[in-house]
Amino acid sequence: MKNWLEVSSMDRWWVDNVKVVDPVADRVFDGSLCVQDGLIAELREGPAPEDAPRLDGEGLHLAPGLVDLHVHLREPGFEEKETIESGSRSAARGGVTTLCAMPNTNPVCDDGPRVSYILERSAQAGFAKVLPVGAITRGSEGRELADLGEMHYEGACAFSDDGRPVSDSGVMRRAMELGRTWDALIMSHSEERSLSEGGQVHEGAMSAKLGLEGIPREAESIAVDREVRLSRLTGARLHLCHLSSGSSVEILRRAKADGLKVTGETTPHYLLLDDSAIEGYDTHKKMNPPIREKSDQEALVAGLCDGTLDAVATDHAPHTEIEKNVEFAYAPFGVIGLETSLAAVLTRLYHSKLMELPRVLALMSSRPGAILGGNAGSLEPGSPADLCLFDPEEEWLVRAEDMASRSRNTAFEGMTLRGRVRATFLNGSPVYRRTMDEGKENEVFTPAKRMQESAS
């Protein structure tokens, strides 16, 4: 058996003694996986060849690295909250190997050079593959289309004004029509501002009790309905971001039944929390769209179970303690989630026996990978050896102070979750590993050399 440092410098080696979770084949089996030149060379049932260099997987579960469709890395412009390097470390700690970086930075990522900058910075960091999402409109101001073609050419994986809705239907139509020429993915922050403006939390009994202005479900679902209609009109590929309500899930369900090219995601905090969580005015429970009622949570879970919702993304949105440690009405929206997403989703869907393990992993790896195109989230031979080694049974207490992110605004502080990442591989290199040595936890981050070399 080889050690972790040795395998990172080898051209061909096996990870042995693992329970392989293959979300595409929908099965779990005792097996081994061969890595060659950063790619998956072979996947087999049973042990690796006796004479081959092997890494002991210690009986843990091995799955494709997670693919997160919705992350805010804040750089450039808000490095006090997060940088591409710190966000990538946070991703590695959570088993995420590919993530989509939203464009609401400062300046907004709305042209080719800014797309190139993000790609270069993430390669230099070497902890995760960061795919820039280009803005739909210049400055994300909703008026004039950004240069979508230039950003697509430079490597933007999708287009969105996330953080802001594109309120002008004509502008959104033109974005979809233009994007369709190269089958680009349009990601929608669906919000009808005339209904949400000034709102702090979900509109309902809890908002009335706390005296906080509410945001009705219709602020989301009316906008979702418009986006779906525009997708029908233009034939564009549409992805609906951070869905929070049962009414939105129902619109998506009908769109899929009609054969439209529409997909949707929800987030871990909507699956584990309902609006009773805001009773203590905890600003770490403040997000947009807001956490809603129990019935919405159940509708989201049902949408994941029946395949209406395609993915779970984090909407990782770092904010500093100074920003969040204020009166509720003045705190910004958003919570972090890269390091807790796998555990939260396993706790909510797998350990409650609502969903088998391969299907849970599919929501966080192969299905978002398929939405993006390419081979992220796959264990197919020839795919990059982007892997996540985890223990689905380990219980752990979420503590903000332990996060690799620069920010601490987790919604799950103090919660016990079940399921934890032990190691993450990027292009076959172990970029994150956690061990227990003499009862003491030890974490090691090592950037993937192949990525860093590609940036030099």
**Residue 118 near residue 101, CB atoms below 8 Å:** yes
Q: What does the alpha-carbon distance between residue 169 and residue 183 come to, in Å, rounded to a whole number? A: 20
The dihedrals phi and psi of 303, each to the nearest 5 degrees, come to -65, -35
Q: What does the alpha-carbon distance between residue 325 and residue 331 come to, in Å, rounded to a whole number? A: 7
Residue whose entry in the numeric block shows the structure tokens 């590929």: 237
Query: What is the DSSP code string of 11-76?
Result: SEEEEEEEEEEETTTTEEEEEEEEEETTEEEEEEESPPPTTS-EEE-TT-EEEEPEEEEEE---TT
Q: What does the alpha-carbon distance between residue 186 and residue 197 come to, in Å, rounded to a whole number? A: 24
Residue whose entry in the numeric block shows the structure tokens 């392989």: 20
Verify whether residue 315 is a known catalytic residue: yes
**Residue 396 near residue 436, CB atoms below 8 Å:** no
Burial class (CB in 10 A: 0-12, 13-18, 19+), 142: middle
Burial class (CB in 10 A: 0-12, 13-18, 19+), 4: middle
**Residue 24 near residue 363, CB atoms below 8 Å:** no
Q: What is the dihedral of CA 190, 194, 197, 201, to 10 degrees?
A: -60
What b/e sequence results for 41-80 when a residue is b if at least 16 CB atoms lie within 10 Å of its CB, and e otherwise? bebeeeebeeeebbbebeebbbbbbbbbbbbbbbbbebbe
Choose the catalytic residue: 225, 315, 391, 437.
315
Which residue numbers are catalytic?
315
